[in-house]
Amino acid sequence: MRDNGRSKRFALSTWTGAALLLALAVVGGASLLSGTSEGVLAVTLAIAGWSGARFAREHRLSEGL
């Protein structure tokens, strides 16, 4: 972000906001899935892991790494 001319305050605010959204998603997901079976939880975690890995792979390839 700093390389693109953004201020330190903007970068810190953006990452703090992202961390808060992630924390809310974790709490919301835990409460939403608290009563589900292990199979449903396993499928949900598998999809989340796959999408995270795909996102990381696509961004590494687009950056030429």
Answer yes or no: are the C-beta atoms of 36 and 46 closer than 8 Å.
no
pLDDT tens for each residue of 28-41 = 988 988 889 999 98
Listed in sequence order, the residues at least 6 apart from 16 whose beta carbon sits closer than 8 Å to its beta carbon are none
Q: Rounded distance, CA 37 to CA 54, Å?
A: 26
Q: What is the pLDDT of residue 14?
A: 92
The domain limits of the chain are 1-32, 35-65
Q: Structure pTM? A: 0.57
Helix ranges (H only) for 1-65 are 8-32, 38-63
| Six-digit token string for 60 | 């590494």
Q: What is the pLDDT of residue 65?
A: 52
The SS3 of residue 65 is: coil
| Six-digit token string for 50 | 């796959």
